[in-house]
Amino acid sequence: MQLHDGKVDYWYTPKLEDFVTIIPIEGDDVYLTKEWRTAWHGYLATAPTRGSGQSKTEEQRLVHVRNEMKQEVGFDAKYIKKLGKILLSARAMQTCHVYLANISRFEIALKPC
């Protein structure tokens, strides 16, 4: 890439694994996980998150969502709704797909998948 001053700079754009993040709710409660994060040198409360590998379809990503819910929170979700996706960086290609998961027995304005 040529800069405005004429110098040439070589940029590397890594393609990182996309991932899913789930916000599990039950009534007024939100379930988070306590995870060690090396970059922060400590434990953080985080939303359950899992790499989605080579998943290209929504159906494939939902398998990862359900597996992460069972592993980290111990529940499956009755209703799951995709809230959207976040592109995390200007320099790296990586997408976070964000889901809201209702694990309660009562429907609260979420449509079934």
Alpha-helical runs (H) found in the chain:
58-68
Task: Report the pLDDT value the prediction gives residue 110, as an integer from 0 to 100.
Answer: 44
The per-residue pLDDT for 81 is: 94
Predicted pLDDT at 105: 52
Interacting residues of 12 by C-beta distance below 8 A, sequence separation 6+:
none
Q: Class assignment of domain 19-102?
A: alpha beta
Full pLDDT tens readout for the chain, 113 residues:
788 898 888 877 888 889 999 999 988 899 999 999 999 999 999 999 999 888 889 999 999 999 998 888 888 888 899 999 999 888 888 999 999 999 875 444 444 44
Q: What is the pTM of this model?
A: 0.78
Q: Which of 38, 46, 42 is nearest to 20 (CA)?
A: 46
Q: Could you tell me if 82 and 58 are in contact, meaning their C-beta atoms sit under 8 angstroms apart?
A: yes
Q: What pLDDT does residue 53 have?
A: 82
Q: Tell me, what's the pLDDT at 82?
A: 95
